[in-house]
Amino acid sequence: MEDEDFREEVRTIVDNQIADNDPKVVRKTMDKLIILGLNETEAKELIGKCLAVELLDVIQNGASYNEKRYLQNLNRLPIEPINE
């Protein structure tokens, strides 16, 4: 998968998570980031970074999706997500 294709897929997933309010913490995180002064695009980009950590771990390492880490990274924003 090309980098731009991957980024577009991540953007689509984030948009869907926000629209579907599933998981609920994604919408909550979006609202928090906007209150902190980020615009919608910046907030979605940060959320996408959290999602990308998970997707890349699955794609590159054959790992299972780590929802706990995804939620922890979302809760840490605007601090950059970690892959631990």
Question: What is the distance between the alpha carbons of residues 30 and 77, in angstroms, rounded to a whole number?
Answer: 10
Question: Count of domains in the chain?
Answer: 1
Which residue segment(s) compose the domain that 65 sits in? 3-76
Asked if residue 16 belongs to a domain, the reply is yes
Q: pLDDT tens digits, residue range 44-68?
A: 999 999 999 999 999 999 999 999 9
Asked if residue 83 belongs to a domain, the reply is no
Asked if residue 63 belongs to a domain, the reply is yes
Asked if residue 41 belongs to a domain, the reply is yes
**Contact assessment for residue 57 and residue 70, using Cβ atoms and an 8 Å cutoff:** no
Q: pLDDT tens digits, residue range 3-59?
A: 999 999 999 999 999 999 999 999 999 999 999 999 999 999 999 999 999 999 999
Asked if residue 26 belongs to a domain, the reply is yes
Asked if residue 82 belongs to a domain, the reply is no
Asked if residue 84 belongs to a domain, the reply is no
Asked if residue 51 belongs to a domain, the reply is yes
pTM: 0.93
Structure tokens at 60: 């590159």
